[in-house]
Amino acid sequence: METRFDVIMPLDLAQDMQDLVDETGHPRGEIFRRAMALYKKAIQTRSAGGNVILRDADGTLREVVGLGV
């Protein structure tokens, strides 16, 4: 089952969405779904006491903070 809802976002966020559409070729709905899945996993990881880490191409590690948990 699916549900539909409208999202009102600031222009800069709308531009970020369009940039992702252009870069990936995915429709906005798919980008939104993937973003939600990634956010859900990050929240679950933090809630379980884990850390969310990003690794840049040069190997630099950065912890994602401020997820609201």
The pair of three-digit structure tokens given for residue 54, joined into one six-digit string: 């990003």
Domain that holds residue 46: 11-63
Q: Domain count for the chain, please give it.
A: 1
Cα angle 40, 2, 47 (rounded to 5 degrees) comes to 15
Q: Find tokens 């809802």 and name the residue.
A: 5
Predicted TM-score (pTM) of this structure: 0.81
Per-residue pLDDT at 67? 79
CA distance 41 to 69: 12
CA-CA distance, 41 to 39, in Å (whole number)?
A: 5
Which amino acid would we find at residue 20?
L
In a domain, 3, yes or no: no
pLDDT digits (tens, 9 = 90+) for 30-53: 999 999 999 999 999 999 999 999
Residue 56 lies in a domain: yes
Report if residue 33 sits inside a domain: yes
DSSP state of 57: T
